[in-house]
Amino acid sequence: MGELGGEFQDSPEGMAAKDNAVSAPPDGKIKTDVADVFADGEYKGTPVFDVSKGEFYNNMKQDRKRLRFKTDSTAGTYMRKTRYNIPFYIRNKEDGYLRKIK
């Protein structure tokens, strides 16, 4: 059987190796405990994700019972994949304020 992408063979062992491959973090990003989710920084050993000013302050409302992030944001992806159990920080891109999400 032929090569698949020049790296893995078209066999059960090759396909398993492809499924278990973890991508390297992009420049300036930090690896998290969730596969293929990379943080923008780290504070006290906890991942920090940059969000827009609107997202940051929208999640600060007292009557908000559930946090809202854009579907494609890394903070939202991290929160969903950890099943809302692991704390992390969000950082406002404009002024650098941090907020811990528990």
Per-residue buried b or exposed e for 39-76, using 16+ beta carbons within 10 Å of the residue's own CB: bbeeeeebbbbbbeeebbeebeeeeeeeeebeeebbbb
pLDDT tens track for 22-68:
555 677 788 898 888 999 999 999 999 999 888 888 877 766 667 78
Residue 23: name the closest of 15, 34, 9, 8 by CA. Answer: 34
pLDDT, residue 15, reads 43
pLDDT, residue 25, reads 64
Length of the chain as a residue count: 102
CA dist., res. 29 & res. 50, Å (int)? 11
100 and 54 in contact (C-beta within 8 Å)?
no
pTM comes to 0.70
pLDDT, residue 89, reads 93
Residue 14 pLDDT exceeds 80: no
More confident position, 17 or 45: 45
pLDDT, residue 59, reads 74
